[in-house]
Structure 1
């Protein structure tokens, strides 16, 4: 029996793996950081029996409440990810599964590999409406890639989508894949209407280094990128610095920063009510977009989410707050669950890669509903 995580986005440390009934593991911390929660590993076993896998250090993880009612995902082919029996006992995460093949992968959520990321960029930029722009390099020397969809022209809105500032939140890049698939569909009326009046600037992965390293929340040197937006630097946070420079160059009329939430089992939006420039116009735009997304997707809801910031008290180091204040525009953090969407539960798959993609597609209908009012 062997357990390994020596692959793209892999993360696990083996404590003992000799008895199928008592496999003991631990999650490795992000480099130069105390954050940890993401795991991704492969089990190779000759044993035809139930396996009990105990991840022993989850009570000290970044979001221990996130393990309550959580079910791990598993896959035999790395394409179809399904939920497996999982229990959190307050100290350990206990995964119980009877493998149907000698090799099986387990993960915190359906992974989105760097190879998939490169494929997504390549396939998108082959479309004649799409341009691939390399903004610069990350600390590990990877490309910071931007997709520009549509023809810039006077009067067109500039709509920005960024995803996966926190690399373990892989549902964010699945969301972007669904959004891009629809946006680049020449026969889709919503996409064609949007590109008549807007240009999309899409960063599918804001944190490629952390993604490959198997991090939950930080870049190569342990920096949380979503706390860098006021004063980014090429030394600590080139990912934010490079994207922010491009934003300053072209402008922003609407911004969605796509994330995943460990604790809350719903899809929801966090607005920018606490930024100093927030006014009646921005409030009306927020309400319009929320209403449009409710209509566009039954996966969305407005009852559950984060507490609203008090006026003038927003944290401007956070991407959506900084963008809202800098450009006086509509800006949201969009959150999806690691668990299930309790509004529409699915016992076998929970919230999934496929549902994230469909939610991304549906979001374009809501963007179209407000695009004409962004200026």
Structure 2
């Protein structure tokens, strides 16, 4: 029996792996940070034998409540990821699985590899609608990629979408893949109309260093990028620094920042109600955006989510708040679950990569609904 995490986004430490019925593991912390929750490892074991994997430090993770009613994902081919029996006793997360093949992968959520990220960028680059812009490089020397979709024109609305500031929230890049698939479909009439008057600026992965390192929430030096938007620096947060500079050059009329939530088993939007500039115009746009999503997909809901900030009390280091205030625009943080959508559960797959991608495509209908009213 062997357990390894020596690959892209791998994260696990082996404490004891002698008895298949009593494997002990620990999740490694993000580099220079106390955050940890993401895991991704490979098990070589005995066919037909139940393997019981105990992650003994789960109770001290960043979001321990997130383990309640959670099931890990597993895959034999790295394409199809299914849920496996998982339990949590307040301290230890226990994953059980009987091997059907010689080796199997386990992860916190379906991984989105750096190789697939590069494939996505260069697939999109083939479209005549797309300009691929290199914004800069990360602290580990990886590319920070921007896709500009549509013909830039100062008369058009500028719609910015960023994903995976928190690298362990891999569902965010699956969302982007689904959104791009629809945006670049030249037989989709709504998209063709949308691109007549709007330009999309999409950053599929804001944190490639953290993604490759197997981090939950931070970049190469332990910085939470979604708390850097008031004063980013090249030394701590070049990812935010470069994106914010590009936003300054283009302007922003609508901003979506795509995330995953460890605790809540729902898809929801967190708005920018607490920023100083928020007014009736923003409120009406937000209501229309949400109402459209509610009408087109049962995967979205508005009953459960984060507590709404009181006027003037927004944290302006957070991306959606900072961008809303700086550009006087509508901005949302969109959250998806690590668990399942409790309103539409799927026992086999839970919330999945495919469902994330479909939501990415569906969100464009909500963008279409508000696009003509974005500017004053």
| Aligned residue in 2 for 1:260 | 260
- Alignment RMSD (CA, Å): 0.6
Q: Deviations over 1:86-137 (max 9, x none)?
A: 0001110000111100110000000000000000000001100001100111
| Aligned residue in 1 for 2:13 | 13
Cα separation, 1, equivalents of 2:102 and 2:124: 36
Cα separation, 2, equivalents of 1:303 and 1:59: 28
SS at match of 1:316: coil
Q: TM-score, normalised by structure 1?
A: 0.99
SS at match of 1:181: helix
Aligned partners of 2:46 and 2:99 also within 8 Å: no
Written as runs of structure 1 = structure 2, the 5 A alignment for 1:117-156 is 117-156=117-156
- Quote the offset at 1:49 in angstroms: 1.1
Cα separation, 2, equivalents of 1:52 and 1:295: 43
Written as runs of structure 1 = structure 2, the 5 A alignment for 1:1-375 is 1-375=1-375
- Quote the offset at 1:46 in angstroms: 2.9
Aligned partners of 2:47 and 2:98 also within 8 Å: no
SS at match of 1:372: helix
Cα separation, 2, equivalents of 1:293 and 1:49: 45
- Quote the offset at 1:296 in angstroms: 2.2
Cα separation, 2, equivalents of 1:229 and 1:347: 38
SS at match of 1:258: strand
Aligned partners of 1:297 and 1:363 also within 8 Å: no
SS at match of 1:179: helix
Cα separation, 1, equivalents of 2:154 and 2:52: 60
Cα separation, 2, equivalents of 1:146 and 1:155: 21
Structure 1: state its 5+ residue gaps: none
Cα separation, 1, equivalents of 2:47 and 2:149: 50
Aligned partners of 1:20 and 1:47 also within 8 Å: no
- Quote the offset at 1:177 in angstroms: 0.1
SS at match of 2:148: strand
Cα separation, 2, equivalents of 1:241 and 1:306: 27
Aligned partners of 2:47 and 2:101 also within 8 Å: no
Cα separation, 2, equivalents of 1:370 and 1:293: 11
Cα separation, 1, equivalents of 2:48 and 2:272: 53
Cα separation, 1, equivalents of 2:193 and 2:337: 30
SS at match of 1:306: coil
- Quote the offset at 1:223 in angstroms: 0.1
> Structure 1 stretches (4+) deviating beyond 3 angstroms?
none
Aligned length: 375
Q: TM-score, normalised by structure 2?
A: 0.99
Aligned partners of 1:320 and 1:331 also within 8 Å: yes
- Quote the offset at 1:47 in angstroms: 4.5
- Quote the offset at 1:48 in angstroms: 2.6
- Quote the offset at 1:154 in angstroms: 3.4
SS at match of 2:373: coil
Aligned partners of 2:12 and 2:39 also within 8 Å: yes
Cα separation, 2, equivalents of 1:192 and 1:321: 30
Deviates more, 1:287-296 or 1:215-224: 287-296
Aligned partners of 1:167 and 1:211 also within 8 Å: yes
Aligned partners of 2:58 and 2:91 also within 8 Å: yes
Aligned partners of 2:47 and 2:100 also within 8 Å: no
